[in-house]
Every structure is written in C-alpha cells, then in structure tokens.
Amino acid sequence: MATTTTTLITPAGATDVELTDDGFFVDPSVWTEDMVPELASREGIGAVTDSHWQVVRFMRSEYQQKGTGPSVRALGKTSGVSVKDLYALFPKGPAKIAARIAGIPKPKGCI
Amino acid sequence: MTANRLRRLYSADEAEIVVVDQDDRHLYQPGLLFMPFGLTHVEDIVRPRGRQLHDGISYRQSAVDSVDIIDDQVLLADGTSLEYDVLVVATGAVLVPEETEGLTGPGWMEKVFTFYTPEGAAALEAALAAFDAGRVVINIIDMPIKCPIAPLEFAFLADWYFTERKMRDRVQLTFVTPLDGAFTKPVASQQLAGMLAEKHIELVTEFNTGEVDGVEGKLVSYDGREVPFDLAVVIPAHGGAEYVGRSEGLGDELNFVPTDMRTLQSKARPNIFVIGDATDVPTSKAGSVTHFEGDVLVENIVHFLVGDELEAVFDGHANCFIETGFHKALLIDFNYETEPLTGHFPTKVGLPLLKESRLNHLGKLMFQWFYWHSLLPGRDIPGIGAAMPTAGKTPASVD
C-alpha cells in the first residue's frame, strides 16, 4: 500500500510521520497527543474541544484494547457522545476522521 | 448443523445435546432476496426447526431470557433453566430498524420496505408489482449486516425485473451505501461498481443515513445530504440477539459476542463457543462462513471436552454467489487475508470467479437443495473443504 511522509508541527517541534494514502498512521505508536490540534486542523476542524478529546481518547483506548477503532454506531453507544453529536464534531465521517486524528488505522469495516 | 455433527460424534451416553430456539420456522434466508420479484414464496423457504435435527437431539422451543456465564446456565423465558458444560451461541443477528429515526414511522411498509424479513419481502412484492414509475432507492443503513452482498443483488435483480416488464426507462435505480465504494475490497469493488454503471444504477457512497422520511420520500444523512425516493428498500442496522444484552459479560455494545477469530471460542468464557452471525469476527455475516466455521467449531469442541489445546485454524473463508440478473451470477471467494480474486473455484477447473456466468446462477439456485439436504444435516459438499482454496486463483496485481 502506498504511503507518504508528512511533517507535523507540534509544540515539541517538527516530526515526520508516515501515513497511508488515505491518511491513516502507518505506525500508531509514533502518535502523541501533541499532534492532535495539527491533525484536527488538517481535517478542517478549527478548535479542538473537550468533546473532540473525549472521542479521540476513546478511539485510542478501543484500538489498544481491541486492535481496531470502533464503527460510528459503536462509538455512538459507548463513547458518551451521540451519533448526531459525533457528526457535528467530525463532519463527513466520525469513525474515519477521529481515527485519523487519533493516529490509529482505518477501522475494520466489514465486507 | 453443529448439533447434528456433534450428535454423530458422541453417543447418547457420552453427550446430551439440547437445541433451544424460539419458534418452529427455520427460514432459508437467501430465499428472501427472490420473494420481492415473485421468484419464490415464503412457504418454499421455511421448514420446521425440529425436523432439521437428527434423532437424539432434544429440541426446546422457548425464547432465551439470558445466559448466566458464571453459573453455566441458560435462563429461558418460561422461568426454567438449562445447565451446560459447553454452550454454543448460534443466535444470529437481528434487525434494529427502530435505531434509525423515522424508518418504522409513517411510510413504513407502504413506501419504505425491507426484504430482510418474510413480511417485508411479501409486502415489497406487492409494492413492486404496483410500481409504475419513479425512483427506487436501495439503502444499507450501516454495517455489519447479514449477507452484505444481498443489497447489490437486489439492485441487479430490480434492473432485470423492470427490464422484463418493459418499464426500465421509467425507473431510476439508486444504490446508497455507507461504504466508500460498491464493495470494500478493491478488486471486487471495481468490478461491481462497473456493473452498477453498466446497468444504469446510480451509486451514492459514504452516506450514513440518520433519518428516513417516509412521507416526503427521502433519506437524510447525518451530514445533511438527501436522497429522494418514491420507493425505498432499506437494510436496517443489525445487532446480535437481544438476550445477549441481558447476559452480563457475554456480548459487546451491539450484542454480538466477542469471539476468537481462529478458534471460535468466545472471549467471555472458555466453555462458550460462537458460530455464525452472532460472532464479531471480521468477515462477512454469511451462510457460507457459518458452514466453514462449523468444521473448525466442532473439532474445537471435541478438543475442549478432553482438555486438549484448540486449533487456531479458521481463516474467515466466505464463498458467495452474487445474482446479477438475466439468469447470471458472479461467484466470490475470500477470507480474512485474501480479498475476492478472479480465477476459478475450487480449482482451475471450476466455477468462474468474479465473472458473470449462467453456471453460477444455476449454482445459486441449486444451493437451496444443498442447504436442506447436506449442510444443515452436517454433511460437507464434496470437494469443498473449510479453508479458502488458492489453486485456480489469479493474484491481484501489485501497484
């Protein structure tokens, strides 16, 4: 799968990370919370609110426990944020966008 | 199927086998796809459950209240309980249309249907027969669903159906999906998207339906997009059986049971195994998957009962016919690691893969016979083992 190297600017400085051609972290372990504002702004999210953080941290913990990020429906049931609110926070696809911001791979959609 | 296989392996003295189910109607679910087009009727696809079981298997007809995974008991709705040494959860998936705003509101069963139930399929048959002109929209609300390919098959058959009735030019067909393509795997997605285009079926992707308005006739996505319809065929969101939600420690937030994808042992308790649509394993919820799981499951129950290590060998194998209309079908064969590829199945001499053929269509029709006479009784189809075959396949080109 094709990947690209992107430079992220964080308070700590500039870091190069490898992303898949659809924008997901190739190596989730290089992600840090410092990268979130920059990653969010690349998704068109100007201000990162507490609700954004709630979802991003939840995605990260689900990935660590289960090996994959949750679907939108599962997110809506267990993250503490409803599906409607998820779309307000991450327009155009909360599961995918929050996964990109949380530095985890694309959630395993079923076939 | 699991009960029948186990009954053959163990005598009545060695093992008592009890099957619990809530009604006496075993439905051949793949038949539902054909009902809306008048190609089959519900009587042809339902048989009594008890009769599918070999002698020596007890059948208890009752709904399940919950499973107590600590005390190894199944609590039935009538207040009685059944103790178990090994439990196999085979309770499938259910539709949860009420989770989508408006879906079961005004217009449901009048303008908005699902063919995923016999009642819905029958009502849709009448609605299609009376349909004169306009927009027919087929929509998958969300994944996972049973038989992910059936909505596409419906679209292909609808194109054929309206063509046969010489009214295809008066009908706009639109396929609306939350996925980012016609299908999730690259090779198949390209092929299937191409077929939709050839048949003039519009494809709308990345559409997460938040609301169905059965009065004004439109689907509304969570991000504000709208798709208008005169008739909507919706595949509602799915969940696991309800009792799983009442059984502490057994299921996940959608009531599916977390299951080891190789051994089919539940992650809840070592003496609970799971098969079919009830699992959370990352492959299709398909009958063929369940059949292939059956081989591995029964072997592992045998290992478990004598304290041996389980075999971590299930490969997620799925093998699915895709009706494409005009008496033709495609066949796809895949597993956890390998997407659907071209070639032939099960060897170089066999049914063509990812290619329309009349032979595949006949295969799909004959399959119902195999289902009742071979698969449910727990027999294999000659020449077809559980693991996905690679002989006869053409690898995807690497870019």
Confidence category of residue A109, pLDDT binned at 50, 70, 90: low
Q: How confident is the model at residue B18, as a pLDDT?
A: 96
Q: Taking residues A45-64, report their average pLDDT.
A: 93
A110 is catalytic: yes
Q: Of residues A2, A14, A110, A111, which has the active-site annotation? A: A110
Confidence category of residue B292, pLDDT binned at 50, 70, 90: very high
In a domain, A27, yes or no: yes
What top-level class would CATH report for the domain B97-238? alpha beta
Question: If 0-12 CB within 10 Å is exposed, 13-18 middle and 19+ buried, where does residue A104 land?
Answer: buried
Confidence category of residue A111, pLDDT binned at 50, 70, 90: very low
Tell me how crowded residue B311 is: count the other CB atoms within 10 A of its CB: 14
Spatial CA neighbour of B274 closest among B262, B264, B260: B264
Distance from CA of B393 to the nearest CA of A (A): 20
In a domain, A108, yes or no: no
In a domain, A111, yes or no: no
The residues near B297 (Cβ < 8 Å, ≥ 6 apart) are B2, B88, B264, B273, B275
Q: How confident is the model at residue A19, as a pLDDT?
A: 93
Contact A83 B253 (CB under 8 A): no
What is the distance between the alpha carbons of residues B46 and B28, in angstroms, rounded to a whole number? 6
Among the ranges given (B19-28, B285-294, B341-350), the one the predictor scored with the smallest mean pLDDT? B341-350
Q: How confident is the model at residue B397, as a pLDDT?
A: 61
Mean pLDDT for chain B? 93
In a domain, A12, yes or no: yes
Residue A62, CB half-sphere, CA atoms under 13 Å: how many? 27
- Could you tell me if A42 lies within 8 Å of chain B, comparing CB atoms? no
What is the distance between the alpha carbons of residues B108 and B232, in angstroms, rounded to a whole number? 9
Please give the share of chain B, as a percent, with pLDDT higher than 90. 78
What is the distance between the alpha carbons of residues B66 and B76, in angstroms, rounded to a whole number? 7
In a domain, A76, yes or no: yes
Of B143, B208, B222, the CB nearest to A110: B143
Contact A78 B222 (CB under 8 A): no
Please state whether beta strands B134-140 and B231-235 pair in parallel, antiparallel, or not at all (unpaired). parallel
The sheet carrying B218-221 orders its strands as: B209-213, B218-221, B226-228
When scoring A72, A86, A111 by the number of chain B Cβ atoms within 10 A, the one with the most, hence best to mutate, is A111
pLDDT at B265 over 80: yes
From residue B188, how far is each of A41, B194, B333, B364 by CA, in Å?
Answer: 34, 10, 10, 19
What is the distance between the alpha carbons of residues B337 and B355, in angstroms, rounded to a whole number? 21
Q: For chain B, give every residue range classified as CATH 3.50.50.60.
A: 2-22+62-92+241-305, 97-238
Of B148, B237, B399, the CB nearest to A73: B237
Task: Fold for B2-22+62-92+241-305, please state it.
Answer: FAD/NAD(P)-binding domain (3.50.50)
List chain A residues with CB under 8 Å of B99: 73
**Count of residues making up chain B:** 399
Contact A92 B252 (CB under 8 A): no
Closest-approach residue (CA) in chain A for B258 = A66
In a domain, A110, yes or no: no
Contact B143 A72 (CB under 8 A): no
Q: Before B144, cis peptide (omega within 30)?
A: yes
Domain containing A77 equals: 3-101
When scoring B141, B253, B277 by the number of chain A Cβ atoms within 10 A, the one with the most, hence best to mutate, is B253
- Could you tell me if A109 lies within 8 Å of chain B, comparing CB atoms? yes
Contact B253 A77 (CB under 8 A): yes
Q: What is the CATH number of the domain that holds A30?
A: 1.10.10.370
In a domain, A109, yes or no: no
What is the distance between the alpha carbons of residues B244 and B66, in angstroms, rounded to a whole number? 7
List chain B residues with CB under 8 Å of A108: 282
Q: Taking residues B150-172, report their average pLDDT.
A: 97
pLDDT at B22 over 90: yes
Please give the share of chain B, as a percent, with pLDDT higher than 70. 99
Of A68, A74, A87, the CB nearest to B222: A87
What is the distance between the alpha carbons of residues A46 and B130, in angstroms, rounded to a whole number? 51
E strand or H helix that includes residue A20: strand A13-20
Kindly report, residue by residue over A23-52, the tens digit of the pLDDT: 999 999 999 999 999 999 999 998 999 999
Q: How confident is the model at residue B399, as a pLDDT?
A: 46
Of A77, A84, A111, the CB nearest to B148: A111
Kindly report, residue by residue over B313-336, the tens digit of the pLDDT: 999 999 999 999 999 999 999 999
In a domain, A107, yes or no: no
For B5, phi and psi rounded to 5 degrees? -65, -40
pLDDT at B17 over 90: yes
- Tell me how many domains chain A contains: 1
From residue B164, how far is each of B49, B135, B161, B200, B360 by CA, in Å?
Answer: 36, 18, 5, 15, 21
Mean pLDDT for chain A? 89
Q: Per DSSP, what are the bridge partners of residue B346?
A: B350
CA-angle at B120, arms to B114 and B126, nearest 5°: 110
Q: Taking residues A57-70, report their average pLDDT.
A: 89
Q: Before B340, cis peptide (omega within 30)?
A: no
List chain B residues with CB under 8 Å of A109: 143, 179, 184
Confidence category of residue B370, pLDDT binned at 50, 70, 90: confident
Q: What number of C-beta contacts closer than 8 Å exist between A and B?
A: 52
